[in-house]
Amino acid sequence: EVPLRKYAGDCRASADHFPWLASVSPALCLSSEFEGAGELRKEDWRLRRGEEVGAKLRMRFLQRSSVYHYEGERGAERKVRKCIEGMVIHYDGEKGMERMVRAEFADGNVHHYEGEGDTLRLVRTELFASSSPPAAAA
């Protein structure tokens, strides 16, 4: 189960590999389900043991290019990460009580947050330092 969860947690993972994964692990595999229409059309990835549908591991909105990653057993899946347009947002907390704790931006900057709901606040910023010195003014 751990390798399948790890695979689903990789933003580069593809449902195209499910047949191969099922041939390696026929007892426990990943399945993909589509639902919704238009902007709300989404794909869910779940663990599957035979015909038994297990925990949701990933949800991707097809038109928004956003991917949500989940951890936990079926019925207790909690959002742990959201990938959207080069940014990764990390969450902590139990199902339904998830709160943003960190945002990693494509430029390498990282913001850390504390609190929840209306009290969520930025508490620390890590700035990406470019390896090249700034250009001298002419």
For 64-119, the pLDDT digits (tens) are 888 999 999 999 999 999 999 889 999 999 999 999 999 999 999 999 999 988 89
Token pair recorded at residue 76 = 């207790």
Q: 34 with 11, same domain?
A: yes
Residue 51's CB: how many other CB atoms inside 10 A? Answer: 5
Where a domain ends, among 19, 44, 71? Answer: 71
Instruction: Kindly state whether residues 100 and 42 are assigned to the same domain.
Output: no
Mean pLDDT of the chain: 89
Q: Is residue 76 part of a domain?
A: no
Number of domains in the chain: 2
- List the 78-84 sheet strands across, edge first: 28-35, 42-49, 52-61, 66-71, 78-84, 87-92, 99-104, 110-114, 121-126
Residue 4 maps to a domain: yes
**CA-CA distance, 37 to 40, in Å (whole number)?**
5
Report if residue 127 sits inside a domain.
yes
Tell me what the mean pLDDT of segment 22-33 comes to.
Answer: 89
**Under 8 Å between Cβ of 103 and 89:** yes
* Model pLDDT, residue 34: 94
Within-domain flag for 32: yes
pLDDT(6) > 60: yes
pTM for the model:
0.79
Query: Which residue range forms the structural domain that includes residue 98?
Result: 86-132
- Residue whose C-alpha is closest to residue 76's, from 57, 60, 101: 57
